[in-house]
Amino acid sequence: MRNGILLFSGGKDCVLALEKTRRTVRVVRLLHLHTTLPEPSPHTENAALRVGIIQALGLPCDEVRLERGRERAILVDYLRTAPGEVLVAADIFLEPHRVWWEEICAQAGKSLLEPLWGQPTTTLDRQWGRYGMAFIIVGLNPQRVPPAWLGRVVGPDERPEFLEAARRYGFDPCGENGEFHTMALAARSFRFRIVPTKVVCRDVSPTLSIARVVRWKAAPS
């Protein structure tokens, strides 16, 4: 079995990618990127929750800060010395993003593995249930997703309602077009479930609202 690094935001897709590769790749480290995007990020706003997810996974995490204009060079330098032969990512159908990572991995001497690539997003929700996943919606575009979903937990009980909302309002159920953003709260590989106990929501712009998990507690898996 090859060793690998997981490109890690804390969201549901990267955790699903981890679950789907466990039989073929031993993920030994997480890689979280601090990007140069100017707009506040739902994942950056939930850095404390991300720490909890890392603890639940029980894996070390490298934090790499990118610099505008030097993103590619910084990532190639990191991957050249990082452990393992594989970088695991969670793209589904964003071709330019996948090609970009393929080029970086080739320069760094790593292979890119995309276990979710090309799968219909309308069927990936079944895999959430298969791997015991739950997540919280930490960001959304209120013009695409009903604002009432901001800060809500989506687990097995809420999944039918969420999928019906996706169908009714026409947003992708995986948020692959940027309609919403998530942080994982439970999965088969978690050592404990994460239960948010205080969530604060705010509007950032007409197309972005963010929910920040201020406090959370660990619960048995």
Do 109 and 146 fall into the same domain?
A: no
Query: Is residue 124 in a domain?
Result: no
Do 193 and 104 fall into the same domain?
A: no
What pLDDT, on a 0 to 100 scale, did the predictor assign at position 35?
A: 83
Query: Is residue 197 in a domain?
Result: yes
Do 99 and 137 fall into the same domain?
A: no
Do 108 and 140 fall into the same domain?
A: no
Do 40 and 109 fall into the same domain?
A: yes
Query: Is residue 177 in a domain?
Result: yes
What pLDDT, on a 0 to 100 scale, did the predictor assign at position 170?
A: 95
Query: Is residue 125 in a domain?
Result: no
What pLDDT, on a 0 to 100 scale, did the predictor assign at position 190?
A: 98
Do 140 and 215 fall into the same domain?
A: yes
Structure tokens at 132: 């015991």
pTM: 0.94
Do 85 and 184 fall into the same domain?
A: no
Do 22 and 82 fall into the same domain?
A: yes
**Number of residues written out for the chain:** 221
* pLDDT mean by block of 10 residues, the chain; 221 residues: 96 96 95 83 93 97 94 96 96 90 97 94 84 97 98 95 95 93 97 98 96 96 82
CATH number at residue 141: 3.90.1490.10
Domain that holds residue 185: 132-219
Q: Domain ends where: 78, 113, 148? A: 113
CA neighbours within 13 Å on the CB side: how many for 33? 17
What pLDDT, on a 0 to 100 scale, did the predictor assign at position 123?
A: 81
Do 93 and 16 fall into the same domain?
A: yes
Do 154 and 211 fall into the same domain?
A: yes
What pLDDT, on a 0 to 100 scale, did the predictor assign at position 16?
A: 96
Do 101 and 142 fall into the same domain?
A: no
Do 147 and 74 fall into the same domain?
A: no
What pLDDT, on a 0 to 100 scale, did the predictor assign at position 139?
A: 98
What is the count of structural domains for the chain? Answer: 2
Query: Is residue 36 in a domain?
Result: yes
